[in-house]
Structure 1
Amino acid sequence: MIIDQIQISNFRSFDNCTVDLNNIQAIVGRNNVGKSNLLKAIRLFMEASKRLLDEDCFHHHDTEEPIRIRVRFVDLNEWERQKFEGWLYDDDTLTVERKFEKTGEDDYSIDRFAIVREPEPSWLKESEINGDNIEEWWEDQDALTVNGLDFGDELGTRRPQVGEWKEIASEFVSEHRDEIPFEEVKRPNPRGYKGVLKGGLPEFILVPAVRDVSEASKITKTSPFGQLINSVLSRVAEARRETVKEAIDDVDSLLNRGEDRLPAIEEFEADLNDSIQEVSDVELEIAMDIPELDDLLETAEVYARDGTRTPIEAKGHGLQRSTIFTILRVYSNFATQEEEASKSTIFAFEEPEIYQHPQSQRTLLSVFRDIADSGDQILYTTHSSHFVNVSRFDEVCIMRKEGTEADFRTEPTQVGMETVLEDLQRRHEKGTPDGVRNQYKNAFDARISEGFFADKVTLVEGESEKYILPIYARLLGYDFDRNNIAVVYPGTGKGQLDRLIRIFAGFDIPTYPIFDADGGVGSKTVEIAGLMGRDLSGVDSIETTIGDRLTIFEGELEDALEDEIDEYQEWWDEAGEEWGAYGKPLKHRYMAVQIENMIKDGADPEEVIPQTVQRIIRKVRDLDTAVDVFEGEVGEEAVVAAKN
């Protein structure tokens, strides 16, 4: 069972929003936009504890309105389907809503709602089938029809009792489910529902971005260390539970009254009773409380030996964080080997990249995926490009602040697989989810994934642009890094540019492509231009164009640089002699460094930096909106080009 969708109302920075979730989901965005609030909302829903509530939990401290969190669970295993029988929205979906309301100075109420679908006709609704209604329906059997289906024919000649009517109605609904209209029903606080939720909903483990590591690393029922250790040990113990239980029973029989009790304890107890009889007519019994297996598992502690045996909470932050993820890797091994369906687990991590070097980050992401593939769910906030993947765009949610400072709210932006697939099928009349992923796999590396964290993306076809644009922009007083602009170079020519435009612009990230026409106007040039709102269909040639949304070079960037840099050939030769540079990108970088030196010596940047580059940088600076690549007329030229 995993969370497929969560709707949040009036909670912290969320006013009213919906977030779709996958079995593994990355939450990205700037600091203080509300990423962690999503994990806190899930925690509040899962634990439903008043200790997690205060006035800060209410959006802009508005306690007049309740907090509402609705969660839709999918992919239920057999154990979970049986556990929630009678409460499912459909065969494989469970929808639950909780309402949190301030009722006093420091008091709150928590209500739970079962969200189910029921047939629209009242005579098919289990909740309305009773003796009085049956008597009324029986008198007018001709009215018991829906969409041409006659329920009266199923009733026979004798009026059914309540149980019989319910059984007949259930069979009728099952047989004609696709033909009967249904309606959503919200049942408040149904009897027994609280216990069903507590026993059946996934376990939730939150590993926060460790500020005070000493608390997070203690082995307690609620700490990340404790929850992970107990989850792993409980899975280990499951296979040998009976063996361990028998051993505990043996200890109990040796220490407490019975045939196998240790003689020394038996004799000591007898001596006590002989003595007490001299002063009172009572019998004393020595009883020892033998813990249950689950109690023993909760006493686990982790020690680290690095010359000294020390509790893990006494070690450095990096080692503690690494230990948490090491436990997680062991958990993933047990989870993937487990055959019996049981209660699932939702893991939530704040910034898992903390204290992890790049290789460890990539390894940890693969562990996350193993756990997610085994049926559990992984949710995490991150600032690391190693934890997002352009081929897994649907597993990314970008959080942003919207509105004024006094009335801000957190809004999510997502690009679903269905959206991209529909766009692909519209353009090529074919496509599958696996095909989409494989197309984007060729465009993935950590540098490209930086685009998910940027305020703007400059997509470049050539490596020269990647090298020199940030240098010239800084010299012109518009530092790309400080303005959170990513220069993304796929490394495969312009063949990948249209795909990356669709993803980044789909996430509402203003995107500016720079590419070569290569002396003509091919289908790929037409397609990219069409995405950016420039119709080049039927055009045979094009001059260098520096537009508000894209730059197209008639030939190459090199042509413009050679025309506008007086020392071009001189510096070209020097780059080879001084830097050993043979390729164009490094030679163009050498030229940028020479121009930087001229500016340091007093030259005016606008006089010495190539005019073409200046114009491009100004266009990037002024770009403030993303094109709508999936809807509207902007993409029609791209559709025509792609089909041709």
Structure 2
Amino acid sequence: MNQIKKLGKYKMHLSSITIKNFKSIKDFTFLLTEYTPLVGYNNAGKSNILEAIKWLLNKSSLDKTYFNTTDSPIEISGRVEGISEEILSQLPTAQRNSIAPYIIDEKLDIKRVQPTPSVPVKNINLEVKKVNETNWTANRNGLDAALKSLFPEPIEIAAMENAAEDAGKFKTTTTIGKLIAEIMAPIEENHTTAITEALNSLKNKFEADGNDRATELTNFDTEATAKLQEYFPGISIKLHVPTPIIKEVFKGGTLKVYENEIGRELTSYGHGTQRSVQMTLIQHLADIKRGTESRASNTLLLIDEPELYLHPQAIEQVRSGLKVLAQNGYQVVFTTHSPQMIPSEDIKHTLLVRKNETEGTHARERLINAVQEAEAEAVSQFELLFSLENANQILFSEKVLLAEGKTEKRLLPYIYNKYHNKTLGQSKIAFTELGGSANTYKSMLVLNRMNLPCKAIVDLDFAFKEASRNGLLQDGQSDSDFLICKNKFSENSDISLSEDGLPKKDGFLTASQAYEWLAEQTDVQENIQNLHEKLKSKNVWLWTKGAIEKHLSLTSKTEQAWALFKRRLYREEFDDVITDEYVISLLEWLEEV
């Protein structure tokens, strides 16, 4: 196989994969980047995505267990991006000619098809097409070889494979064996001369044509030949001990674990140690590649649950190592159940994998795409994305609860737990603090586009600012409840009003105090309740007393006040601490789908 030379920072990668009829995946296109986490509950089919990627790049005959239905073929297609002229120029002529006509804007579509279970490998077709066309061309000479040059055989690490064999023995067929080969390559290159000289010395001593053979071998040659010539004159024999080639020297290497200077086989340790050794090799490979020139060819690293058996600090080290590899010649795709594996900056490209009877295994829309569809302005896109990126729990939940205030974030999880006798996490609800109401509506749009059910909790001012502006309420001029409440502000001279007739923060009463005053006015209670019901129908809970603090009888928004409230919640009966019916109603509302 042609080895493509290293270039500057690479950008070639598999940008998408469309999988049809493969295990639990009926027909879906998954978008990929250089570093793609896959998140989903057990049995959602995440591992099937990794297997499909590997099969696209490294064909094998699949039996019937791989077919979603044996009535249809397995078809897996992918788009490769970043195939530059510089990369193409390094391919052998036949390989270059097989794919160059189909590359448009440095992009190429490839597809592998297996018509029926267990067919011979030669009947598994590799097809190619231009990205702007629909017709595929099959079996072009050099196509498979060109693909292997661009994408060497993927390195796959399954969640529950034999880690002891993988890390303890240097086998080219094991996944860690491939990693060791990557690590050993520069060692082999740097010490070739010294090893060759040592092997030549052995060759002279032990091989049949050596010029300095061992005395014992020479004696054997002489004595055995004398006996043989009694039967076949003119024929001689020599004992030949072949000298290993350089690669065979390294293939004999193993890993041993030392504790208190005593070396033991890896099989004598538990799963945690075995998995740690696997991930250590990945981290070490990342350290070797860090800061080096990236290569034009791209090795896919496919890992199922890299955090398995590891403690939190080790998980962070593995995550960091994978990020380094993704920047230095590897494309990393991995499954995970750990929020630690997905920091805020990676949420936008994470795939939320789900499975149902109708669609099979599929992915919800990525956060980055949903934000772009919900917000046209680039600056606002960034602000909205940042507010949601800080909530990686949304990736591991089935429902999302948005809140704009710190009091909700600090106290509601405990109130919910006390009332329902279960946590928000047990209910698969992610609680996200947005730090203000401005992004509430757009965040809900984004989450809805991601097919993530969501609800929001907002202060009273939201109804007059964001709700009417974003269409959650009718236009202020046509909503009588809105107008009656808005006009009420003008009756209080301590409230300074802006041009839109709503409170400003620089009056004798602050804006938040103005809304609390409004909530206390008896003649608008029905109107506020009507606004509450209107927003509730849009999955938004409006605090009718202005903010949550009034409903919880809190006099301040301080750590001390929150701590005292939590202490009461732990020590006293629920009904003695929570006396406001709206809080009870909220807790019931959160349970509704």
The answer to whether TM tops 0.5 is: yes
1:75 paired with 2:75, answer: no
Residue 183 of structure 1 deviates from its aligned partner by 3.8
Residue 398 of structure 1 deviates from its aligned partner by 0.7
The 5 Å alignment of 1:53-452 reads 53-59=62-68, 62-76=69-83, 78-79=86-87, 82-83=90-91, 84-86=95-97, 87-88=99-100, 89-90=102-103, 92-102=106-116, 110-117=123-130, 183-210=133-160, 213-219=163-169, 220-258=171-209, 260-264=211-215, 265-281=217-233, 282-307=235-260, 308-339=262-293, 341=295, 343-403=297-357, 409-415=360-366, 417=368, 420-421=371-372, 423-424=374-375, 426=376, 428=377, 430-431=378-379, 436=382, 440=385, 448-452=391-395
Name whichever of 12-21 and 510-519 sits farther off: 510-519
- From 536, 546, 551, the equivalent of 1:555 is 546
User: Could you state the TM-score of these two structures normalised by the residue count of structure 1?
Assistant: 0.71
Q: Contact 1:235/1:334 (CA < 8 Å) preserved in 2?
A: no
The 5 Å alignment of 1:522-533 reads 522=465, 525=466, 530=470
The 5 Å alignment of 1:475-554 reads 475-477=418-420, 479=422, 480-490=424-434, 492-494=435-437, 497=440, 500-501=443-444, 503-517=446-460, 521-522=464-465, 525=466, 530=470, 540=502, 543=528, 545=532, 547-548=536-537, 549-553=539-543
Unaligned runs of 5+ in 1: 119-181, 563-567, 624-644
Alpha-carbon distance in 2 for matches of 1:617, 1:400: 27
Residue 305 of structure 1 deviates from its aligned partner by 0.6
What secondary structure is seen at the aligned counterpart in 2 of 1:347? Answer: strand
Unaligned runs of 5+ in 2: 1-11, 478-499, 504-514, 516-527
AA partner of residue 351 (structure 1): E
Alpha-carbon distance in 1 for matches of 2:414, 2:138: 61
Go from structure 1 to structure 2 and tell me whether the alpha carbon gap of 1:609 and 1:252 turns closer, same or farther (over 3 Å shift).
farther
Residue 484 of structure 1 deviates from its aligned partner by 0.8
Equivalent pairs, count: 519
Q: Contact 1:464/1:584 (CA < 8 Å) preserved in 2?
A: no
- From 37, 40, 46, the equivalent of 2:57 is 46
What secondary structure is seen at the aligned counterpart in 1 of 2:226? Answer: helix
What secondary structure is seen at the aligned counterpart in 2 of 1:31? Answer: coil
AA partner of residue 115 (structure 1): V
Alpha-carbon distance in 2 for matches of 1:192, 1:212: 35
Residue 416 of structure 1 deviates from its aligned partner by 6.0
AA partner of residue 509 (structure 1): L
Name whichever of 230-239 and 346-355 sits farther off: 230-239
1:141-197: CA deviation from partner (whole Å, max 9, x where unpaired): xxxxxxxxxxxxxxxxxxxxxxxxxxxxxxxxxxxxxxxxx7454222223433443
AA partner of residue 112 (structure 1): N
Alpha-carbon distance in 2 for matches of 1:330, 1:418: 34
Alpha-carbon distance in 1 for matches of 2:441, 2:205: 75
AA partner of residue 559 (structure 1): K
Go from structure 1 to structure 2 and tell me whether the alpha carbon gap of 1:312 and 1:76 turns closer, same or farther (over 3 Å shift).
farther
Alpha-carbon distance in 2 for matches of 1:401, 1:349: 20
User: Could you state the TM-score of these two structures normalised by the residue count of structure 2?
Assistant: 0.77
Name whichever of 355-364 and 196-205 sits farther off: 196-205
Go from structure 1 to structure 2 and tell me whether the alpha carbon gap of 1:266 and 1:534 turns closer, same or farther (over 3 Å shift).
farther
Name whichever of 550-559 and 10-19 sits farther off: 550-559
1:6-36: CA deviation from partner (whole Å, max 9, x where unpaired): 0100001111110010111111111111111
Alpha-carbon distance in 2 for matches of 1:521, 1:303: 68
Go from structure 1 to structure 2 and tell me whether the alpha carbon gap of 1:41 and 1:259 turns closer, same or farther (over 3 Å shift).
closer
Alpha-carbon distance in 2 for matches of 1:557, 1:297: 67
AA partner of residue 90 (structure 2): Q
Alpha-carbon distance in 2 for matches of 1:210, 1:356: 13
Q: Contact 1:26/1:380 (CA < 8 Å) preserved in 2?
A: yes
Residue 115 of structure 1 deviates from its aligned partner by 1.2
Go from structure 1 to structure 2 and tell me whether the alpha carbon gap of 1:532 and 1:302 turns closer, same or farther (over 3 Å shift).
farther
Residue 212 of structure 1 deviates from its aligned partner by 5.0
- From 582, 585, 591, the equivalent of 1:612 is 582
Residue 458 of structure 1 deviates from its aligned partner by 0.9
Residue 15 of structure 2 corresponds to which residue in structure 1? 4
Go from structure 1 to structure 2 and tell me whether the alpha carbon gap of 1:241 and 1:6 turns closer, same or farther (over 3 Å shift).
farther
- From 550, 561, 577, the equivalent of 1:584 is 561
Residue 97 of structure 1 deviates from its aligned partner by 1.1
What secondary structure is seen at the aligned counterpart in 1 of 2:76? Answer: strand
Go from structure 1 to structure 2 and tell me whether the alpha carbon gap of 1:247 and 1:502 turns closer, same or farther (over 3 Å shift).
farther
Q: Contact 1:351/1:381 (CA < 8 Å) preserved in 2?
A: yes
Q: Contact 1:79/1:341 (CA < 8 Å) preserved in 2?
A: no
Q: CA RMSD in A?
A: 3.5
What secondary structure is seen at the aligned counterpart in 1 of 2:236? Answer: coil
Alpha-carbon distance in 2 for matches of 1:609, 1:290: 86
Alpha-carbon distance in 2 for matches of 1:484, 1:49: 39
1:293-320: CA deviation from partner (whole Å, max 9, x where unpaired): 2233222210011132112232221111
AA partner of residue 31 (structure 1): N
Alpha-carbon distance in 1 for matches of 2:154, 2:350: 21
The 5 Å alignment of 1:458-469 reads 458-469=401-412
Name whichever of 207-216 and 230-239 sits farther off: 207-216
Residue 411 of structure 1 deviates from its aligned partner by 1.4
What secondary structure is seen at the aligned counterpart in 1 of 2:248? Answer: helix
Go from structure 1 to structure 2 and tell me whether the alpha carbon gap of 1:48 and 1:217 turns closer, same or farther (over 3 Å shift).
same
AA partner of residue 416 (structure 2): A
What secondary structure is seen at the aligned counterpart in 2 of 1:203? Answer: coil
Q: Contact 1:13/1:408 (CA < 8 Å) preserved in 2?
A: no
Residue 255 of structure 1 deviates from its aligned partner by 2.7
